[in-house]
């Protein structure tokens, strides 16, 4: 068993050699505290501007990684199509136009693969633009939220207006979900076309400071254009899943075709039968792993945007204690309700279906652990 070392501040067990505590985030020793990387990490914990910038950079890297996954899947698919369909068309002029001269193995720069990767990238942009036009309306219909007037909910409208002024954006539409569960969400593809929603249970359970913290968090999603990120990422993940399904079919057909050639005594084409088998195996692996990695990236983006919205709430309210107290109540009383489903769970301030504790595996979590969020808010409050 690996050696564990207690944190000098909170006492939590950490692996030997760790520079910062996994629980409280403090340096493990004076040597670690003097390192520039640790000092930058500590700055992000106590400065919401630095925290917001770090989260934006992390999100950008994750979206680029997602695009790279899609492009890789497209390239491998096109590469296999060139190998197997190209073999069938080897006597035609069209195949010779694609064929790379001087290469007889499967290890060549595939023109078809480059075209397939480019097509996936273009389709992802087009598909995302289509989804962006309807995304916010769909969310409001799915959740069952209804608009409320100032006369019906004066305190809620007043808090939303205060936070909108602090954020420098037009006041969003205010909606309520009639359920006793505690939760809140925001939707909107721009600051001029947005909505903030809370549940009836949240309105009844929180005081004004706590409500300000929650609304500040939700307006943070609007200010940071998180609905755009979520829509774009969801679209890319869906496209990767569809292409992966097509890749499985190509691999299946290619495998049967390769078997037929071996039975018939023909092993022509690039690399012969052995090379074709390697190409099929690579396609199988990429088609199997790409959707999994894409989903992991999607969840990582969702978690980063939650941290960013928390930091934005602190910037708007100047009072991290309000959101900290609200999250503590939400951790105990959040529950599934009509209008929440697997497709919308990432939109809410806490996941209505799952609570991810600090020590649980977080790879597939839509939200960071509430303990980690509360701890970061405490650090931002200095």
Looking at the annotation, which residues are catalytic? 218
Burial 314-352 (b: 16+ CB within 10 A, else e): bbbbebbebbbbbbebbbeebeebebbeeebbbbbbbbb
Using CA atoms of 249, 251, 252, 257 in order, give the dihedral in degrees to the nearest 10.
120
Closest of 3, 23, 31, 25 to residue 15, by C-alpha: 3
Q: Which residue has the tokens 């942009």?
A: 125
Instruction: Centre a 10 Å sphere on the Cβ of residue 353 and count the other Cβ atoms it contains.
Output: 14
Torsion over CA: 221, 39, 42, 315 (sign)? negative
Q: Angle at Cα 38 formed by Cα 32 and Cα 44, nearest 5°? A: 150
Q: Is 236 exposed, middle or buried (0-12, 13-18, 19+ CB in 10 A)?
A: buried
- Encoded tokens for 371: 């303990």
Reduce the DSSP state of residue 171 to 3 states and report it: coil
Burial 84-104 (b: 16+ CB within 10 A, else e): bbbbeeeeeeeeeeebeeeee
Residues whose CB falls within 8 Å of the CB of residue 149, separated by 6 or more in sequence, listed in order: 157
Instruction: Centre a 10 Å sphere on the Cβ of residue 228 and count the other Cβ atoms it contains.
Output: 16
- Rounded Cα distance between 87 and 247, Å, is 18
């Amino acid at each position: 068993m690996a050696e564990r070392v207690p944190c000098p501040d909170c006492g939590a067990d950490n692996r030997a050699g760790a520079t910062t505590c996994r629980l409280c985030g403090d340096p493990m020793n004076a040597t670690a505290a003097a390192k520039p990387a640790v000092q930058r990490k500590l700055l992000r914990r106590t400065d919401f501007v630095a925290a917001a910038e770090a989260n934006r950079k992390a999100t950008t890297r994750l979206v680029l990684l997602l695009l790279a996954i899609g492009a890789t899947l497209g390239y491998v698919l096109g590469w296999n199509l060139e190998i197997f369909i190209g073999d069938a068309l080897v006597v035609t002029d069209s195949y010779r136009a694609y064929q790379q001269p001087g290469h007889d193995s499967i290890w060549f720069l595939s023109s078809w693969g480059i075209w397939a990767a480019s097509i996936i990238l273009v389709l992802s942009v087009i598909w995302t633009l289509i989804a962006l036009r309807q995304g916010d309306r769909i969310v409001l219909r799915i959740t069952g939220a209804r608009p409320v007037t100032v006369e019906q909910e004066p305190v809620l409208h007043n808090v939303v207006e205060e936070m909108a002024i602090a954020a420098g954006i037009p006041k969003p539409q205010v909606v309520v979900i009639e359920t006793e569960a505690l939760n809140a969400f925001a939707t909107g593809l721009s600051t001029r076309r947005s909505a903030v929603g809370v549940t009836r249970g949240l309105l009844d359970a929180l005081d004004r400071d706590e409500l300000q913290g929650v609304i500040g968090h939700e307006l943070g999603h609007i200010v940071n254009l998180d609905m755009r990120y979520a829509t774009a990422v969801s679209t890319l993940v869906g496209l990767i899943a569809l292409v992966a399904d097509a890749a499985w079919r190509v691999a299946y057909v290619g495998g049967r075709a390769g078997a037929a050639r071996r039975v018939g005594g023909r092993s022509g084409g690039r690399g012969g039968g052995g090379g074709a088998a390697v190409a099929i195996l690579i396609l199988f692996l990429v088609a199997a792993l790409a959707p999994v990695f894409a989903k992991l990236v999607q969840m990582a983006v969702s978690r980063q945007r939650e941290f960013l919205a928390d930091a934005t709430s602190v910037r708007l309210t100047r009072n991290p204690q309000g959101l900290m107290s609200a999250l503590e109540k939400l951790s105990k009383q959040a529950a599934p309700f009509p209008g929440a489903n697997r497709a919308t769970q990432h939109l809410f301030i806490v996941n209505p279906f799952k609570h991810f504790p600090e020590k649980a595996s977080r790879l597939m979590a839509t939200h960071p652990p509430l303990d980690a969020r509360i701890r970061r808010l405490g650090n931002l409050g200095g």
